[in-house]
Amino acid sequence: MLLFIRVFLVLYGLIAAATGFMGVTAKYNPAITDAMTDNNHRFVAAIWMATALAFFYIAWNTSETALFRFLMIALFIGGIVRAAALINYPATPFLIFLIAIELIPPALMLWFHNKLLNAGSL
């Protein structure tokens, strides 16, 4: 169970780091967006990169219960919001995959983490 948790935490950290890196290094194109929107996107990209650090930290410090739960709940809420947005456009296999990795593993990880905490294994 702990290995499953750690593997997914590192995976989520890599995804968050890649998302943040793409946003921070994106070229500014004034024909597509205005300066304020570009600035907001870069701010959110920096938050993604900081979140990646939190995922990597918690992968090696799984006893940090509050941070672990915050990250899992944030992922789960993100999946719910992404699923709710499907009323606006058709679901593609990639979107369904993104929703699934934001809903299923975090719920399992919360459950596994709680079992490990109760057993005194963390």
Instruction: Write phi, then psi, for 25 (nearest 5 degrees).
Output: -95, 5
Q: Does the pLDDT at position 122 exceed 90? A: no
Angle (CA) 82-60-52 rounded to 5° is 35
Mean pLDDT, all residues of the chain: 95
pLDDT band per the 50, 70, 90 thresholds, residue 31: confident
Lookup: tokens for 97: 């995959």
Q: What is the pLDDT of residues 79-91, one digit of tens each?
A: 999 999 999 999 9
What is the pLDDT confidence band of residue 121, given thresholds at 50, 70 and 90?
Answer: confident
CA–CA separation, 37 and 43 (whole Å): 10
The predicted model gives 69-74 an average pLDDT of 97
Please tell me the predicted confidence (pLDDT) of residue 18. 97
Give me the pLDDT at residue 96, please.
Answer: 96
| Helix, coil or strand: residue 88 | coil
Domain boundaries of the chain, sorted by first residue: 2-119
